[in-house]
Copies of this chain bind each other. A is one copy, B any other.
Amino acid sequence: MTSLQPHPTDQDLIALLRARGQRVTSQRLVILRELRRRRRHATAEEILEAVRPDLPGTSLPTVYATLDLLGELGLVRKLDVGVGVSLYDGRTEPHQHMVCRACGRVEDLDAELRARPLLRAATDAGFVPERAELVVHGLCAECAGTAPGPRAA
């Protein structure tokens, strides 16, 4: 079972790349830093915009390739929740997601997922599980008009 490093450092990335005989490039370092800096998942396009100042001339294909590589290294989680874009999540603590069917917003859901029985069932079927992801579909507070806080009354 691949586990994500908590808050991976540049050195972590460098070590992982060296171990695979791959090169340490500024694109890889800067994109990892950007993921670390963010508290939220982001699209490849958003990552590109964010790193543009540090990496002028960087292209979307490179961002995709890099995110894909970081995914293999366990430094980022790719999310496909049915909103038409892939999201890349640098938050490494275990957490799940909620997707609003009205506005497409994707929010973090911090609650313990008891996946043990599911993983067990997968294993029994010959499947080798690496990670379990749960998505709650529904309406976000805003779209449902149940926004908590100020206007909760």
Contacts and interface: CB of A to CB of B under 8 A. Distances in A.
A62 interface: no
B146 A138 contact: no
Given A118-B134, A133-B137, A126 B144 contact: yes
A82 interface: yes
Interface in A128-153: 128-141, 144, 146-148
Interface of A: 78-82, 86, 96, 98, 100-101, 107, 109-115, 117-122, 125-141, 144, 146-148
A111 to B, nearest CB: 4
Chain A contact surface mostly: mixed
A128 B139 contact: yes
A98 B148 CA distance: 35
Contacts of A111: 117-118, 120-122
A119 B135 CA distance: 10
B125 A148 contact: yes
A53 to B, nearest CB: 30
A109 B98 contact: no
